[in-house]
A and B are shown apart, each in its own frame.
Chain A
Amino acid sequence: MLKIKNKFNTERDISGCGLCGIINAKKVKTNGSDIKKAISVEHDRGNGLGGGFAVYGNYPDYADLYAFHIMYDNLSAKSDVEDYLRNNFIVEKEEHIPTFKTSKIFDHPYLHRYFIKPKSDRQDKLFHELEDDDFVVNSVMLINQNYDGAYVFSSGKNMGAFKGVGYPEDIADFYRLEEIEGYMWTAHNRFPTNTPGWWGGAHPFTLLDWSIVHNGEISSYGINKRYLEMYKYNMALRTDTEVITYILDLLIRKHKIPVRLALTVLASPFYQKIDKMENDKKKLYTALRQVYGSALLNGPFAIVFGYSGGMVAMNDRIKLRPLVAASNGDFTYVASEEAAIRAVCQSPDMIWSPKAGEPVMVEFNDIKEKTSLKGGLLSL
C-alpha cells in the first residue's frame, strides 16, 4: 500500500540512518552522481524503506519563486490542492517531476511541482499581515494536515527535495539525479524502526529553504513537540526531523537568533562549561538555556541541514552518532562514515571527526559579508 502520510498508530516515527552532504562554497555546480556514489557506500545503514536528496541551485530560472514539490495519492486530491494554490498563489509554471522507470522503484505517488509566489491580494491579507514566508509555511502545514492524499515535500526557492521509499541509490536513478545540477547536496538513507516505509517520511525533510537529513532518535521528542505546539507548529509527520526543522525555523527565522547561536540551543553546552565563561557570555548562554531549554535536542543525533546561506553538520552534545567531515579546496564533505567521503574524494586536504555539539558550518562565499555584518543573521 502506498503511504504518503503518517497514518500509522504511533505517536512518532523513529529510525536509524546514514547521511551525506557535499557543498561547494563558491557555488560551483556538480551533478548528482557524486552524492549518489557517496550515499550508496552507506547502503547498509538503511533498509530500503526510505532514501532521499536535497539539492540547492537546481532551479536558477525560477530562483525567485517558491518551488513546491507535492506528492498525491489520487487525482482528486490534486485538483483540490491546485484550487487552493490558484486561489492564493500566482502559479508561474507547473509540471510533473521527471521520473524514470527503474526495476527497484515500482510503486510511487503522483509527483508534481509548481513554481509559485503568494498573491499580494490573497485572502489572508485582509485579516493579518503575514509575510510571504510565513504564509508559505502556513500553506504547507494546511495542505499537509487538511488535504487527504496530498503532501508538500519541498517548498523552498531554487532548491528541491527528491525522495521516496527505496534505497537512496535507486531513488537517485528514479529521479535521474545525474541530470540535475546544484552547488549543495545532501542525502539520506533510512532505517525506520517503528513504522513501515512511507513516501512522505523519507528524508530530507524540508520547509522553505531548510532541508534536514538526520540520523538519530531524539529522546526529548515529547517536550520538543509540546514546546513547538505552543508556537502553533503542527507536528503532522511525527518525525524527529520535522521537530528539528521547526525548532530551527522558530529560532532563526522567527526569533532572529544567529545560526551559530541557534545551534548551541539544539546541543547546548553543559553548565560546567557555561559557568567558566566570562561574564557577558555566561549571561547569554545561561539565558539561552533558561528560555530555550525545551528546545534542547537530547539524545543521539547527527544532522546535516542546508539553507540558502550554506550547510551545517553537527552532533548531539555528547556525540552519540557518527559524523565525519572533510574539506578539499572549495568543497566540504560530511558523512556518517569516512568511507562515503573517500569514495568521492580520495585524498581530501583535511578530514576530521567533529566534536560533540560543535557544528561544522560552511557558508557560501558570496554572502559572507552580509552574514558577518548581521552576526550571521540570514536573509530568510
Chain B
Amino acid sequence: MTKSSFSNIQSEYLAVIDHNKCVRCKRCIQNCGWGTYSFGGDKILADHSKCVACGRCYTYCPEGAISIIKNPTVIRENANWQEPLVKNIWRQSETGGIVISGMGTTFKYKKYFDHILLDACQVTNPSIDPLREPMELRTFLGKKPSKLDLDFDEKGEPVLKTKMPPQIELQTPFVFGAMSYGSISLNAQKAMALAARALGIVMNTGEGGLHDDLVPFGKNIIVQVASGRFGVHRDYLNSGVAVEIKIGQGAKPGIGGHLPGEKIGIDISRTRMIPVGTDAISPAPHHDIYSIEDLRQLIYAIKEATEYEKPVSVKVAAVHNIAAIVSGIVRAGADIVYIDGYSGGTGAAPIVIRDHVGIPIELALAQVDERLREEGIRNEASIIAAGSIRSSADAVKAIALGADAVAIGTAALIVMGCHVCGKCNTGNCSWGITTQRPELVRRLDPEVYGERLYNLISAWSHEIQEVLGAMGVNSIESLRGSRERLRGIELTDAELKALGIKHAGL
C-alpha cells in the first residue's frame, strides 16, 4: 500500500485575523497552547488545522482582531452520515486507534432537567422572602441513624445518647467533583481548594493523590482511592474529611484511566508515587474488588485505617441497574454514594464509551432514592448527584429528586476559562487547566479563579434560596426528595414513572 501523505480531515474552525486591526503584538502566538499561530515576517499566520476554538486567543487579543469561525466548507449534509461520524471514520482509518476525547458527551440526548418544572406558592401558603428571613442551605453528608436515643441528666433534660456517625458539613449543598492532579493542573486544584475553604464546602482530589501544597486544605478535601491506588498511603487517607472509593465515572463507566508518561513530571511522580515518565494506568476494575463483598472489605479497611472518624464515599457511574447497585453499596457500609450520570466530564475517554454507555443522572437518582426508601435505608447514606449540573436550577431539581448535594466539575472548569473544547486529553489547554506545561499552568492564577469559583457557588446558592423562598420553605431539607414540588413537561408516561413525578397540570 502506498502511504497517503494528506488527511481527509479538514480544519473544523478557521482562525481569521483582521490584519488591518492586528498590531503584531504576538500575544496570540504566546497564548495559543496549540501552536496555531506563527509570525510570518510581516504578519501573523494561522494554521487552522490546529485550532480547537478554545477561545484563548481572541480573549487576550488587545485589538479584537481575531475571529474564530466554523469552517464554512461543508461536508455534504446527510442526516444519517453526520459529519462527526464521517470524520471519525477517516481518523480511525488513518491511525487504526480508538478515538479519545475530553469532557462529557457532545451527543444531543434528552436533558431531563430541562423537562422538569418547579412549584411555587400562591395564596394558600405564603412564599418566603430570602432577603428578610433566614434561608438554610446547610447540609450534612454521611450515614444518619434511623432514630436518636436519648439520656436524661439530673434536671431531666434530654442529652444525646446515640453516637452520631461522622458527617461532612457543607454550608451549601455543592461539592467540587473529583478531578485529579495530572488530569488538571495543580493551579486548577488550588483554585478549587481556596474556593472550597471560603465557601465551607469540599473539593475532591480525584485519583491523583494529594500534592503537598494542598495538605493545609484538608478540612475541605475528600481524598480518593481509585483502581490505580496512586498516591494512597495512611497519612493520605487521614488527610481529608472523607475518603472516596472510585468505582466508576459517568463519562466512562466500566473502564479505567490513562495518564500518559510524558505528563508524569517530577511533581506528579512524587504525588502519585510512580516513577517519572511512566504511564499512569488505572485498571478498569479494582483488582481487589470483583464483587460487592470485596467492596465491603475495602470500605471497612479504609474505616479501620481512619479509625471510623471519616465517612467513606463510593463513586459509581449511572448504569442500567443503578438502583440495585447502590442499594448493595449502602448495605456494604458506604456512608455516601456519589452517582455520576452519563453526561459527566472526563479528562480523557474513548468516545464510543463516552457517547453510548450509561444513563442520565436524573433517572438514576430518582430510581436510587426510591429504591433506598422502599428498602427503608435511605438514611444509611447520603447521595451526591453529578453528571453535568449546569445551573442552580439543575441543582434544585436534583435535590428535589432525592440528592443530598450535587457535584460540579465541568462548570468549575468553565469558571477557569474552559470553553468546553473537549481536548483535555491532549495536555495543551491554553487556559492552564488540563495541562502540565509550566508556561501554560502558570497563567492560571489560583487566587483569581478561586474567587470566581466562590462567586459562582455563592450566586447559585442565592438562587437556590430564591427558589426555596418561592416554594415557601426555608430549609434545604424540606426540598430534598420532595418530588411533589416537581412536574414534568413533554415527557412520556414511562419517563414520568421513572422520575417519580407527575406531568404538569396534574
Query: Chain A interface (Cβ within 8 Å of chain B)?
Result: 11-12, 14, 16, 193, 216-217, 219-223, 225-227, 229-231, 254-258, 261, 268, 270-272, 280, 283-284, 287-294, 296, 298-300, 317-318, 320, 372-376
Contacts and interface: CB of A to CB of B under 8 A. Distances in A.
Interface of B: 121, 123-126, 128, 133-134, 136, 138, 140, 144-148, 150, 152, 156-160, 162, 164, 167, 373, 376, 378-379, 471-475, 477-485, 502
Contacts of B484: 11-12, 221-223, 225
A294 B477 contact: yes
Contacts of B128: 318
A217 B124 contact: yes
24 contacts: A193-B124, A216-B125, A219-B471, A222-B481, A222-B483, A223-B477, A226-B483, A261-B150, A270-B136, A280-B159, A280-B160, A284-B160, A287-B160, A290-B164, A291-B146, A293-B477, A294-B477, A296-B475, A298-B475, A300-B472, A317-B474, A320-B125, A372-B156, A375-B158
B152 A375 contact: yes
A299 B477 contact: no
Nearest to A219: B472
A230 B140 CA distance: 20
Contacts of B125: 14, 216-217, 219, 299-300, 320
A254 B149 CA distance: 11
B142 to A, nearest CB: 8
B158 A284 contact: yes
A285 to B, nearest CB: 9
B405 to A, nearest CB: 13
Contacts of B156: 372-373, 375-376
A185 to B, nearest CB: 27
A271 B138 contact: yes
Contacts of A298: 472-475, 478
Contacts of B146: 291
Nearest to A275: B138
A25 B409 CA distance: 60
A296 B138 contact: no
Contact of B474 (A16, A216, A221, A318): A318
Given A291-B145, A299-B473, A223 B480 contact: yes
A289 B477 contact: yes
B479 A223 contact: yes
B472 A271 contact: no
A221 B502 CA distance: 15
A149 to B, nearest CB: 27
Given A268-B475, A271-B136, 4 more contacts: A219-B473, A230-B379, A291-B147, A293-B477
Given A220-B473, A272-B134, A287-B148, A320 B126 contact: yes
Contact of B124 (A16, A255, A296, A373): A16
Contacts of A254: 147
Nearest to A220: B478
A220 B482 contact: yes
B150 A375 contact: yes
A271 to B, nearest CB: 5
A11 B502 CA distance: 10
B158 A14 contact: no
Contacts of A231: 376
Contact of B373 (A229, A256, A261, A320): A229
A270 B473 contact: no
Contacts of A14: 124-125
A374 B150 CA distance: 11
Given A14-B124, A230-B376, A373-B156, A255 B477 contact: no
Contacts of B126: 300, 320
Contacts of A294: 477, 480-481
Of the listed residues A283, A287, A300, the one surrounded by the most CB atoms of chain B closer than 10 A to its CB is A287
A133 B477 CA distance: 31
Contacts of B471: 219
A223 B134 contact: no
Nearest to B402: A226
A358 B379 CA distance: 28
Nearest to A270: B134
Closest A-B pairs by Cβ, 7 of them: A222-B484, A293-B477, A222-B482, A220-B478, A298-B478, A219-B472, A217-B125
A172 to B, nearest CB: 26
A268 B474 CA distance: 11
Contacts of B167: 290
Contact of A230 (B133, B150, B373): B373
Contacts of B481: 222-223, 226-227, 294
A231 to B, nearest CB: 7
B426 to A, nearest CB: 45
Nearest to A222: B484
B131 to A, nearest CB: 14
Contacts of A284: 150, 158-160
A249 B435 CA distance: 58
A155 to B, nearest CB: 24
B441 to A, nearest CB: 39
A375 B161 CA distance: 14
Contacts of A193: 123-124
Contacts of A255: 147-148
Contacts of A293: 475, 477, 480
A229 B124 CA distance: 25
Contacts of A225: 484
A257 B483 contact: no
A247 B474 CA distance: 19
Of the listed residues A14, A220, A254, A300, the one surrounded by the most CB atoms of chain B closer than 10 A to its CB is A220
Given A16-B124, A222-B484, A318-B128, A296 B160 contact: no
A317 B474 CA distance: 9
A280 B152 CA distance: 12
Contacts of B124: 14, 16, 193, 217
B158 A258 contact: yes
Contacts of B150: 256-258, 261, 284, 375
Contacts of B162: 287
A335 B482 CA distance: 31
B373 A226 contact: yes
Contacts of B140: 290
Contacts of A223: 477-482, 484
Contacts of A220: 473, 478-479, 482
A288 B148 CA distance: 8
A293 B134 CA distance: 16
Contacts of B483: 222, 226
A300 B472 CA distance: 8
Contacts of A289: 477
B199 to A, nearest CB: 16
A27 to B, nearest CB: 23
Contact of A291 (B144, B474, B482): B144
Contacts of B482: 220-223, 226
A221 B126 CA distance: 15
A296 B476 CA distance: 11
A296 B144 CA distance: 16
A225 B482 CA distance: 9
A128 B121 CA distance: 45
B126 to A, nearest CB: 6
A223 B157 CA distance: 30
Contacts of B472: 217, 219, 298-300
B314 to A, nearest CB: 20
Nearest to B472: A219
A290 B134 CA distance: 18
Given A257-B148, A296-B475, A287 B164 contact: yes
Contacts of A374: 152
A87 to B, nearest CB: 29
A376 B373 CA distance: 31
A212 B482 CA distance: 24
A36 to B, nearest CB: 27
